[in-house]
Amino acid sequence: MHPFSKFQSVRKVKMSNNHTTADVILIGAGIMSATLGSLLKELAPDLKITIFEQLEKPGEESSNEWNNAGTGHSALCELNYTSEKPDGSIDISKAITINEQFQLSKQFWSYLVNKNLISNPQDFIMPLPHMSLVHGKDNVTYLKKRFEALSNNTLFQGMEFSDDPEKLKEWIPLIMKDRILDQPIAATKVDSGTDVNFGSLTRKLLDHLKSQNVDIKYNHTVDDIERTEDGSWEVKVRNFERGTLEHHTAKFVFIGAGGGALPLLQKTGIPESKHIGGFPVSGQFLVCNNPEIVAQHHAKVYGKAAVGAPPMSVPHLDTRYIENKKTILFGPFAGFSPKFLKTGSNMDLLGSVKPNNAFTMLAAGAKNLSLTKYLVQQVMLSKEQRIEALREFIPDAKSEDWDSVTAGQRVQVIKDTDDGGKGTLQFGTELVSASDGSVAALLGASPGASTAVHVMLDIFERCFPEHLKDWEPKIKEMIPSYGKSLAENSELTQEIQTATAQTLGLNENLQTMV
């Protein structure tokens, strides 16, 4: 049975240069489409897949290495994934979920490397300690409770805690140098963390897909998506190179266009696209231009968001490996732009307001006045004010050692929920799919790219449940923990983490790379 036989009655279309059919159309040449395409080609090699990207190169928006923090999100250092309950205990359920999802990604990447489908994993993933750093008595108490709760779980073995300034000087010398210790300070450290260059990984995956006869069309933007009489989808695409409008038909469409996914999802007209809005948030990072300073720091160090600040505001000082060079980034500093993509239009936000989501959007605006105020304050920050924020991490930071870089555009999901009522702002990643499984779209932001493989497995379960039985053996070959809980299986966890670390080169000491 053909993997997409449930859509067998594809309308007969005359094949030409501007009107073609495919089994699968992927919109956006970022990490999400690259991951879905790579998985599908392993599961069903004969599938005809077409990818449309409006820019001239892959991974130039949210997947680009300069447009995200590069954190392999596994909840090792992100404090917003471990909330404190009213009784004072720590809820680690979200941390476990996100960690397990990242383990899926590492397993799939390891499979691709072992099969020689992609090479040189050091180009896209590097070993790097993940740390959490807090100040003040209450925060230190919280961090210690968090450490105790997490370190008992097999996924977080190896986590260390210290409130000893001398130990912290060993871990984070740049942060502790010249620091006035007028309040308690503590940190946790996990050496098994990573820095991920999702731009490089995206390019590798798409090079692999191109070698598998996947048709990747750059400088092509999708204008419209319409259902055909037989249940397929006709995608109207503008070819910038030729200046022509093309028509492409497919049985399944995935919208993985980052911030641009919401307007395209709305064009499908599926009921699931109703009552959903998007709130765009831009970002700025400070990047260190002084190699002597860069050499003194080797970790991703996450702090705690200020009281009342949104999760997107969590400050972090990150070692990054970009273009085979070690650097340090600090941020993020949030900002506002009505664009849904860095290369988008100032009319994106207004254009996304429809009759079916107008009240949802208005309700969100009324609920999030504090967020609006926060964004306005962030936009108004001068470089020197941003350097002052950096000095909370690096006390003697000098303005001339740091430059500003604009990060990627994120569109937070706004939706009506059963528990939150109308216009609830979501800060995570959201998969929206049609009831018949013929179209799916990925919305939202962090943890995003780190959980790409998990998202695609979710798509398989939602959109192609009748094929899972046939696909399961291959899925388990690619992702050995598929269908299993790593948090409840320490032996399997150790086996998988040892194997992926070996394949991806995460056991090597690369601290001297500059």
pLDDT for the residue numbered 482: 97
Contact 300, 187 (CB under 8 A): no
pLDDT band at 287, cuts 50/70/90? very high
- What's the one-letter identity of residue 326? K
Residue 510 has pLDDT above 50, yes or no: no
pLDDT, tens only, 250-270: 999 999 999 999 999 999 999
SS3 state at 404: strand
Cis peptide preceding 184, ω within 30 of 0: no
Q: How does DSSP classify residue 486? A: G
Contact 465, 472 (CB under 8 A): no
Helices (H), ranges, 255-368 = 261-268, 291-294, 348-351, 358-367
Which segment of 13-17, 301-305, 465-469 scores lowest on mean pLDDT?
13-17
Residues present in the chain in total: 514
**For the residues 152-167, what does the mean pLDDT come to?**
96
Which segment of 110-119, 130-139, 441-450 scores lowest on mean pLDDT?
441-450
**For the residues 174-180, what does the mean pLDDT come to?**
95
User: Can you give the residue ranges of every domain in the chain?
Assistant: 72-186+487-514, 275-427
pLDDT for the residue numbered 509: 42
Would you tell me how many other CB atoms lie within 10 Å of the CB of residue 487?
19
Dmax over Cα atoms in the chain, in whole Å?
75
pLDDT for the residue numbered 15: 38
Contact 36, 42 (CB under 8 A): no
Contact 481, 491 (CB under 8 A): no
SS3 state at 74: coil
Q: Give the residues across from 288 on adjacent strands.
A: 402
pLDDT, tens only, 53-78: 999 999 999 999 999 889 999 999 99
Nearest Cα to Cα of residue 409 among 66, 77, 56, 52: 66
pLDDT for the residue numbered 440: 97
Q: Give the chain's mean pLDDT.
A: 90
Residue 9 has pLDDT above 80, yes or no: no
pLDDT for the residue numbered 310: 66
pLDDT band at 194, cuts 50/70/90? very high
pLDDT band at 467, cuts 50/70/90? very high
264/270 Cα distance (integer angstroms): 11
Contact 353, 93 (CB under 8 A): no
Helix or strand (DSSP H, E) at 224: strand 220-227
Residue-wise burial string across 98-137, b where 16 or more C-beta atoms lie within 10 A, e elsewhere? bbbbbbbbbbbbbbbbeeebbeebbbbbbbbbbbbbbbee
Tell me whether strands 439-444 and 244-255 are parallel, antiparallel or unpaired: parallel
**For the residues 473-489, what does the mean pLDDT come to?**
96
Would you tell me how many other CB atoms lie within 10 Å of the CB of residue 38?
27
Which segment of 4-18, 120-134, 323-337 scores lowest on mean pLDDT?
4-18
pLDDT for the residue numbered 513: 37
